[in-house]
Amino acid sequence: MLPQTRDADTISSPIVDDNGFLKVEKSPPGVVNDIKLAFFLAVYDVRHRYARSIIGPFWITLQTAFFVGCIGFVFSAISAVSTRDFLPYFAISFVLWSFLSGSTNNSTTTLLDAGGFIKDRGLPAYVFFLQCFFRHLLFLAHNIAVPILLFVFLGGTTFFRVIAAIPGLVIFAGVTLCLSLVVGSLATRYRDVQPVVESLMNLAFLASPIMWKPDLLSGREFLLHYNPVVHLLAVWRDPMLNGVMPWGSFAISLMFLAVLASLAWYALTQLRNAPFWI
């Protein structure tokens, strides 16, 4: 028989006990700990992707600035609006859309990559959807510099209009999180979902007013009314750029969020089977 745990007063070093084991309190397991872990993993992802470069994660910003600049010039010409007017509009829309589509697309493969953590270390599967969401939130935090700079130099919004956009942005982020959970769980269980999600995301990007302005569709407004993405964009973009609160879009977006949230809840209950899927 080997000896059992020793008394605390026989320990000499402050962090290592006489057996060479570290004396550290573990954080109690639970949702708070899971969220912290997910955030930590996300920060690691971002930091290590750009580990060998001097400007680090700001490569993301530079990449977005380049894309927004090029497409902004071309599409303002195509839709015959002034570049000065179009650039901030396109930049903010594109950056937030990338957040939603990036998190959703990424969620389809995130559990497969984390298989070992789930099956061999017993971490709950939802941690990795949170990690994916946080990672894209961090990308967004870098990308947002592009529209902010454009707003500062070209105008287009005011401080109070940005504040008024916050409720809409919260709904948008909520939809992103719930969508990632639902789509990610479905795509892990059924492997043929991933390419479908990817093409739907591309379709939504082109069919929604991100690279073009909604007024281009005059005469065929029904194309906007039945597209949920239009309302999800309107809830923060209308207050931010036009200073109006689109209450109709708020109602539709909140209903959309409620449906997604209940699906996400169902997905969370099904995720206990995730170790069988991966």
Partner 1 sequence: MASISLENVTLDYPVFDLNDKSLKRRLLTVVGGQREKASVIRALHGIDLEIKAGERVGLYGPNGSGKTTLLRTIAGIFPISGGHINSTGHITPLLGLAIGANKEISAEDNIRLLLRVDGIKPTADVVDSIWDFTELKDKMRRLPLRTFSSGMLMRVLFSVSTAFSPEILLLDEWLSVVDKTFSKKAEQRMEDLVSRTKILVIASHNINMLERVCTRIVCLDEGRIISDEPVVAKPKVEEPLEAAVHDSAITSQGLS
Catalog residues that contact partner 1 under the rule CB under 8 A.
1-5, 14-16, 19-22, 24, 26-29, 33, 37, 40-41, 44, 48, 51, 115-123, 186, 189-193, 272-273, 275-277
Query: In terms of CB distance, is 47 or 225 closer to partner 1?
Result: 47
Q: Choose between 19 and 82: whose C-beta lies nearer to partner 1.
A: 19
Minimum separation from the CB atom of position 270 to partner 1 (A): 10
Which residues face 16 on adjacent strands?
22
- The b-or-e profile of 140-150 (16+ CB within 10 A means b, else e) is bebbbbbbbeb
DSSP 125-148: THHHHHHHHHHHHHHHHHHTHHHH
The nearest distance, CB 68 to partner 1, in angstroms, is 29
Tell me how far, at minimum, the Cβ of 175 lies from partner 1, in Å.
22
CA distance linking residue 278 with residue 276, whole number of Å: 6
DSSP designation for 192: T
Nearer to partner 1, 191 or 225 (CB): 191
- Least distance from partner 1 to the Cβ atom of residue 110, Å: 14
**Minimal distance, residue 104 CB to partner 1, in Å:** 16
For partner 1, the closer CB: 121 or 220 = 121
Please state, in angstroms and rounded to a whole number, the distance separating the CA atoms of residues 271 and 277.
9
Kindly tell me which of 8 and 22 has the beta carbon lying closer to partner 1. Answer: 22
Instruction: Pinpoint the alpha helices (H) of the chain.
Output: 31-49, 58-78, 83-113, 115-120, 126-143, 145-154, 159-164, 166-189, 193-207, 222-225, 228-237, 247-270, 274-277
What amino acid is encoded at 70 in this protein?
A: C
Q: What is the CA radius of gyration of the chain?
A: 23
Cβ contact 145:112 at 8 Å: no
CB-nearer residue toward partner 1: 169 or 268 = 268
Please check whether residue 19 is in contact with residue 2, taking contact to mean a CB–CB distance below 8 angstroms. Answer: no
Q: Min. distance of Cβ 186 from partner 1 in angstroms?
A: 7
Nearest approach, Cβ of 14 to partner 1 (angstroms)?
8
Q: Give whichever of 124 and 246 is closer to partner 1, judged by the CB atom.
A: 124
Tokens of 53: 């470069």
